[in-house]
Amino acid sequence: MIPVEELERIIKLYPRLIYAQEKGRQLVRGTFEFCALYDAIGDRFILNPSTSDSALEDRIIQDSYEIEVEFFSGSPLRFPDVREVGGRIQKVIEKFDIKDIRDLHVNKNLNNAICLCPKPEFYVRYPNGLDLFDFFNALVLPYFYGLTYFEKHGEWPRGTYGHGDVGIFEFYFEHRNAANANLIKSCIENLSESLSKEYLQRKGEAKGHWECVCGSKKKMRDCHAKTLGGLRALREDIRNKSINLNLK
C-alpha cells in the first residue's frame, strides 16, 4: 500500500487526483492540474509562481492533463508507470506529424508509459525507495510542463536524454563523478540493445566510428557524441572497479 501520509500530501497539492484500487492495481488517477514556471538559470520548476518579470511570462504554464499512475509492489523494485490518458499526446503527434512516439518520451512497449528519466536515474534519486512527493514534483510535473511547452513552441524547455540505451549512456556521462558500484550495475542491467552489451565487452578503447546504439547506422561520434563519452566512461569504470558484467 502507498503510505497514507504521502497520498495526502500529493492530493493536497493536486486535489483533482484520487487514489483507486482496481483489479488488483494500485492507481493514482484523475486530472493533474498545475501552474508552474521553469527557471532555466537554476534548472528548477517553481509551482504556483508569482512574478512581475515579463521576460518570464512565456515560461509560466497553467494546464491540466488526465493521467494514470500505476504503482507496483514486490521485488525487484519497479517504479510507477505514468500514462497520459486524455488524448493530448496524440494531438501533439498529429500537430507536429511525429513519426516516432519515443520523440515525446513515450514507451509503446510499456502500454505507452512515459519515460520520465533514464532508469538508472531512479536509483540515484531514490536509493532508499520511492519518495512519492518528490516523484510528482521532480519528474511528473517537469514532463507535463515540458509537453505543454513543446506543444506551444515545438521544442522542450530544457535538454532531454535520448531514447533507451542512448539515454543511459548520456546519463552516465553527466553523472560519472558521483558513480559507485550500484549506479554502474544499474546502468548495465538496464541496457536493452545487444550492440550496447557487445560494446561493453570489446577490447581496447571505444571508437567513435563504431555504429551508434540508437539504430541509425551512423558513426557514434557523428550521431550521439555524448553517448560515446558515456560508453567510454562506463567501460573504464567497470574495469577500474572490477564489476562483473554478467550480461545476458
Q: Which residues contact 54 (CB under 8 A, 6 or more apart)?
A: none
Contact between residue 170 and residue 230 where contact means Cβ atoms under 8 Å apart: yes
Per-residue H/E/C for 190-204: HCCCHHHHHHHHCCC
Contact between residue 37 and residue 54 where contact means Cβ atoms under 8 Å apart: no
pLDDT at 127: 83
pLDDT at 1: 65
Q: Quote the strand ranges of 159-210, DSSP E.
A: none
CA–CA separation, 214 and 162 (whole Å):
9
pLDDT at 88: 97
pLDDT at 113: 96
pLDDT at 76: 60
Per-residue H/E/C for 152-169: HHCCCCCCCCCCHHHHHH
pLDDT at 169: 96
* Amino acid of residue 81: D
pLDDT in tens, the chain (248 residues): 677 888 999 999 999 999 999 888 899 999 999 999 998 888 899 998 886 666 677 789 999 999 999 998 865 667 899 999 999 999 999 999 999 999 999 999 889 999 999 989 888 888 888 899 999 999 999 999 999 999 999 999 988 899 899 999 999 999 888 778 888 988 998 999 999 999 999 988 999 999 999 989 999 999 999 999 999 999 999 988 888 777 76
